[in-house]
């Protein structure tokens, strides 16, 4: 690769959540909604395209605006947001983008001759009488479309099921004809919502939103966000219409359930809603998901982790890391930006982001792309984790900090391990370097920094030296 690959995998100034990854013609394309830094609601931007060659997942290219929100006839003034989309290649070889605007309950479709766009408005999913799906009497509102095309049929999965709403039954599958718009088979419920989970095997992990569908071998994998929001789950079936059986959790954006380096019920990041899917790239499967930044839920960034399938088709939950698409640990030398932290938490467990008093990954400006992101709001007891590195002969660690504070950073390679070094640091109104000799053992390890002291330092980067 040209360089190492980090999480988030796109530049630190870009905010593309709800990622749907596909491989088309030797490149990985990620389709998602578009948050803004400091946005006041979800999905405020136009759809942006990003792609990378399958043999270099560090080399992401911006394809520009692939579909503006004003392109839909019902949104010519742009007052509605483009929620999470999905893309499929139709039987005619063209690429079809499915989406739902934030104030309507029907599915819009755009089309492009290439996977990089630009997409043009095409029409609305409708029945043979021309009535839009979601507008007809008895229809449940459409939301978060996921699509899979096989032959002349396209399977469209949609739905949103909030707790307490018995009018919404679960994720729906609707079969469309070769024109990519016309309903051939009416919606059926394939995964239950929380109000109808009892006795289904989905208890505690019922469908909430974020429908996505993939096929591996003869098994269909339905990926979705569960009622608890921070986790992506999967269910499997031998037929795209189901019945689907609950499989497990793919990833949690607060690393809940992971017990390899901490107790399973201990969140080690500030989570939030989640959306993504799985994809095979050059023989390796990955799960794509997103994380929350800037102290709220409206500036989300895409991340990815490798996954593996057991012989029975099941998938073990992926651990959040800083090196997801890198193909292995990061080098134990050089300068690394602080925004690649995969763990960020305080003494008292906090499951979800949103408290402005908590530490957060943020930026000084949305417009200046040359400025680096950093971690702000660090307080006494804050733990910042980066995983994983191939440590060999590292003798010195340098931190770049600023703001009003006085204290020290304890350095560890395990959450419950002894401090390998302490780095004293104090107030500076410019980015200032603080360093200490270290004693990292050789091998693949995480790097944890724990702040002890007063004030609220900001951390921009760290450097490992041999």
Beta strands 153-158; 146-150: pairing state: antiparallel
Contact at 8 Å (CB) between 21 and 30? Answer: yes
**What CATH superfamily is the domain 20-307?**
Glycosyl hydrolase domain; family 43 (2.115.10.20)
- For 204, the token pair is 């505690």
Q: Report the greatest alpha carbon distance in the chain.
A: 74
Judged by phi (left if over 0) then psi (alpha if -120 to 50, else beta), residue 443 lies in left
Q: In the annotation, is 372 catalytic?
A: no
pLDDT of residue 1: 86
Contact at 8 Å (CB) between 302 and 314? Answer: no
Contact at 8 Å (CB) between 170 and 196? Answer: yes
- Write out pLDDT tens, residues 202-220: 999 999 999 999 999 999 9
Distances (CA, A) of 179 to 88, 93, 128, 158, 182: 13, 12, 12, 19, 7
φ, ψ at 226 (rounded to 5°):
-85, 180
Q: Which residues share a beta bridge with 99? A: 108
- For 193, the token pair is 């919502």
Contact at 8 Å (CB) between 110 and 96? Answer: yes
- Write out pLDDT tens, residues 225-242: 999 999 999 999 999 999
Nearest to 275, CA basis, from 289, 291, 287: 289
Nearest-angstrom CA–CA distance, 121 and 159: 22
The residue ranges of every structural domain in the chain are 20-307, 330-465
Nearest-angstrom CA–CA distance, 125 and 224: 21
pLDDT of residue 312: 97
pLDDT of residue 129: 98
- What is the CATH number assigned to the segment(s) 330-465? 2.60.120.260
Nearest-angstrom CA–CA distance, 402 and 420: 23
Nearest-angstrom CA–CA distance, 57 and 9: 8
Residue with tokens 């270290």, as numbered in its chain = 438
Residue 13 CB coordination number (10 Å):
17
Q: Which residues share a beta bridge with 154? A: 149, 176
pLDDT of residue 334: 98
Which residue among 18, 72, 140, 231 is the active-site one?
Answer: 18
pTM: 0.98
- For 352, the token pair is 């979800």
Which residue among 63, 72, 86, 209 is the active-site one?
Answer: 209
Tens of pLDDT, residue by residue, the chain (466 residues) = 889 999 999 999 999 999 999 999 999 999 999 999 999 999 999 999 999 999 999 999 999 999 999 999 999 999 999 999 999 999 999 999 999 999 999 999 999 999 999 999 999 999 999 999 999 999 999 999 999 999 999 999 999 999 999 999 999 999 999 999 999 999 999 999 999 999 999 999 999 999 999 999 999 999 999 999 999 999 999 999 999 999 999 999 999 999 999 999 999 999 999 999 999 999 999 999 999 999 999 999 999 999 999 999 999 999 999 999 999 999 999 999 999 999 999 999 999 999 999 999 999 999 999 999 999 999 999 999 999 999 999 999 999 999 999 999 999 999 999 999 999 999 999 999 999 999 899 999 999 999 999 999 999 999 999 9
Q: In the annotation, is 179 catalytic?
A: no
């Amino acid at each position: 690769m040209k360089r190492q690959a980090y999480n988030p995998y796109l530049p630190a100034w870009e905010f593309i959540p709800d990622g749907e990854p596909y491989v088309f013609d030797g490149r990985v394309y990620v389709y998602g909604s578009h948050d803004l830094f400091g946005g006041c609601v979800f999905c405020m931007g136009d759809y942006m395209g990003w792609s990378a060659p399958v043999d270099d997942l560090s080399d992401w290219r911006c394809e520009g605006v692939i579909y503006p929100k004003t392109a839909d006839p019902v949104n010519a003034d742009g007052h509605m947001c483009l929620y999470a989309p999905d893309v499929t290649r139709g039987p005619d070889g063209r690429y079809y983008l499915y989406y739902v605007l934030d104030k309507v309950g029907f599915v819009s479709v755009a089309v492009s001759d290439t996977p990089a766009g630009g997409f043009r408005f095409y029409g609305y999913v409708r029945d043979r009488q021309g009535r839009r799906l979601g507008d007809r009497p008895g229809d449940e509102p459409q939301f978060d479309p996921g699509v899979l095309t096989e032959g002349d049929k396209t399977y469209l999965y949609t739905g949103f099921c909030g707790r307490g709403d018995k009018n919404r039954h679960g994720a729906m599958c609707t079969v469309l004809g070769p024109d990519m718009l016309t309903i051939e088979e009416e919606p059926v419920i394939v995964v239950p919502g929380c109000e109808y989970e009892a006795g289904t095997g989905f208890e505690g992990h019922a469908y909430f939103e974020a429908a996505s569908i993939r096929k591996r071998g003869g098994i269909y994998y339905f990926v979705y966000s569960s009622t608890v929001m921070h986790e992506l789950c999967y269910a499997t079936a031998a037929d795209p219409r189901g019945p689907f059986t609950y499989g497990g959790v793919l990833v949690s954006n607060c690393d809940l359930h992971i017990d390899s380096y901490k107790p399973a019920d201990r969140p080690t990041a500030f989570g939030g809603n989640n959306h993504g899917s799985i994809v095979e790239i050059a023989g390796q499967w990955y799960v794509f998901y997103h994380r929350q930044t800037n102290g709220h839920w409206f500036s989300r960034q895409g991340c990815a982790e490798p996954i593996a399938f057991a012989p029975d088709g099941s998938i073990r939950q992926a651990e959040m890391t800083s090196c997801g698409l890198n193909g292995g640990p990061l080098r134990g030398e050089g300068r690394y930006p602080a925004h690649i932290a995969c763990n960020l938490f305080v003494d008292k467990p906090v499951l979800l982001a949103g408290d402005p008093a908590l530490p957060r990954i943020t930026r000084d400006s949305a417009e200046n792309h040359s400025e680096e992101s950093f971690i702000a709001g660090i307080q006494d007891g804050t733990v910042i984790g980066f995983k994983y590195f191939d440590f060999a002969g590292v003798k010195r660690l340098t931190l770049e900090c600023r703001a009003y504070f006085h204290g020290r950073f304890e350095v560890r390679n395990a959450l419950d391990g002894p401090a390998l070094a302490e780095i004293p640091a104090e107030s500076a109104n410019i980015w200032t370097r603080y360093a200490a000799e270290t004693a990292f053992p050789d091998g693949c390890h995480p790097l944890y920094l724990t702040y002890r002291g007063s004030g609220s330092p900001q951390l921009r980067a760290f450097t490992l030296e041999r």
